[in-house]
Structure 1
C-alpha cells in the first residue's frame, strides 16, 4: 500500500473505501472531504518533512499526484539534515 493511500486509510478509517479509489481518481470527487484533504497534507508534512503549500494543494488532486509530489520533494532534500 502506498504512503498516501495508507494515510487516507488512517484518516477515513475505511480501508475498503480507500482501496476502491484509483490512483488517478480525483479525491474530492470520490467523496473525500476538504477537511480530510487538509489532514492528509498535515500528515504528509509531519511524516515526510515535505512542505505542502496552498498553491501545491490546488494542483494535487489524485493519490498519484500526491505520491509524485512527495517523491520529487524528497529527492530534492539535502541528505544529512536541515
Structure 2
C-alpha cells in the first residue's frame, strides 16, 4: 500500500475505502471531506518534513498527485536535513 493510502487509512480507519480509490480519482469527489484533506496535508508535513503551501494544495487533487509530491518533496526535505 502506498504512503498516501496508508495515511488515508489512518485518517478514515477504513482500509477498503483507501484501496478502492483509483490513482487518478479526485480525492474530494471520492468521499473525502475538506477536513480530512487538511489532516492529510498535515500528516504529509509531519512525516516528510516538507512544507505544503497553498499553491501546492491547489495542485494536489489525486492520490497520484499526493504520491508524486511526497516522493519529490519528501526526498528533498530528507536530503536538506542530512
- Asked whether the two chains share a fold, i.e. TM above 0.5, the reply is yes
- Per the alignment, residue 74 of structure 2 pairs with 74
Please, which runs of 5 or more residues in structure 1 have no aligned partner? Answer: none
| 2:48 and 2:78 in contact (8 A); partners too | no
Q: Give the number of the structure whose residues are more often helix, by fraction.
A: 2
Question: What do you get for the CA RMSD once the two structures are aligned?
Answer: 1.6
- Per the alignment, residue 14 of structure 1 pairs with 14
TM, length-normalised to structure 1? 0.91
TM, length-normalised to structure 2? 0.91
Runs ≥4 residues deviating over 6 A: none
Please, which runs of 5 or more residues in structure 2 have no aligned partner? Answer: none
| CA pair 80-60 structure 1, distance change in 2 beyond 3 A | closer
